[in-house]
Amino acid sequence: MTTSPPNRIRELREARGLTQEQLGTLIGTDKTVISKLESGRTRLSQPRMVLIAASLGCSLAELLEPVVAAPPVPGWGQDPSVDVAEIDIHGDRRSGFLASHDGGPQGFREDEATAQWRFPAAYLSAELQVQAAAVRIVEVRGDGMEPTLLPGDRVMVNLADQSPSPSGIFALWDGQGVVIKRLEVIMGSYPPVIEIRSDNPHHRVYERSAADIDIIGRIVWVGRRL
């Protein structure tokens, strides 16, 4: 008795709602031949493979190879998501967000949140290396950090990282208002002096004593509409 390697004719036929008789008609044979092809009792020739694959709308490989579900890949898709609050730091609500010199971020009231952003917990911890409880989302306003940050961008501020060394982009209170700027400690300065720089060359660079500014936190993520 002639036998043929296992195939997926029956599986694919039934998935498309066809009977053996209907598939036989499509390829110019009868249901008895289709039954034998499905069971492997009749050899599946190359011409018939082409006809059946065309009738079932599949490739030759799909006709012969079982589709094995890929094992789940550990990662963000399976990880619990966490909410990160967005807060308006540009108005009079900054008191719930500012860092204090002696104890890290001040208390944050949930009713000050203007929105909630959902992130995979693994993305925050593994990729951004932050804890959800220590970050906030804020809106960028003004053109001071163009082209790096644009008006309307959202950035994530890590309240747990208030040290300007190494240098980076931070949200801070500079004595005049809340701004997002690039900070760098001036080498050799004592007491420490911070250079406050915009990425936009049309904005001036200025300096403040470290004691005269409140660093809210380091910017670790940006999101924008394309």
pLDDT in the model for residue 133: 85
CB-based contacts of 94, cutoff 8 Å, min separation 6 = 173, 178
Specify the pLDDT at position 171.
92
Under the banding of pLDDT at 50, 70 and 90, the label for residue 110 is very low
CA 204, CA 3: separation in Å to the nearest integer? Answer: 82
Q: Are residues 194 and 122 in the same domain?
A: yes
> How does residue 191 score in pLDDT terms, banded at 50, 70 and 90?
confident
The model's pLDDT over 9-42, given as tens digits with 9 standing for 90+, comes to 998 889 888 899 999 888 888 999 999 888 888 8
* Residue 90 domain flag: yes
Clarify whether residues 89 and 133 are in a common domain. yes
Q: Is residue 173 part of a domain?
A: yes
CATH assignment at residue 86: 2.10.109.10
Tally of domains within the chain: 2
My answer on whether 145 and 43 are in the same domain is no
User: Domain for residue 2, yes or no?
Assistant: no
Residues whose CB falls within 8 Å of the CB of residue 21, separated by 6 or more in sequence, listed in order: 30, 31, 34
CA gap 179, 171 in Å, rounded: 6
Structural domain that includes position 35: 9-64
Same domain flag for 147 and 208: yes
**Structure confidence at residue 154 (pLDDT):** 93
Q: Can you read off the two tokens belonging to residue 32?
A: 């008895």
211/141 same-domain check = yes
Q: What is the pLDDT of residues 162-173, one digit of tens each?
A: 888 889 999 988
pLDDT at 77 (0 to 100): 53
Distance (Å, rounded) from C-alpha 160 to C-alpha 71?
Answer: 37
Residues 29, 106 within the same domain = no
Q: Give 111 or 59, the one with higher predicted confidence.
A: 59
Tell me which H or E stretch contains 47: helix 46-56
The answer to whether residue 69 sits within a structural domain is no
Residue 152, phi then psi, degrees to nearest 5: 95, -15
Q: Indicate whether 55 and 104 sit together in one domain.
A: no
pLDDT tens digits along 95-108: 344 433 333 344 44
Chain segment 50-106, per-residue pLDDT in tens: 888 888 888 877 887 654 555 555 555 556 888 888 888 765 444 344 433 333 344
DSSP string computed for 60-71: HHHHHS--PPPP
- Tell me if 35 is assigned to some domain: yes
Burial of 66 (C-beta count, 10 Å sphere; 0-12/13-18/19+): exposed
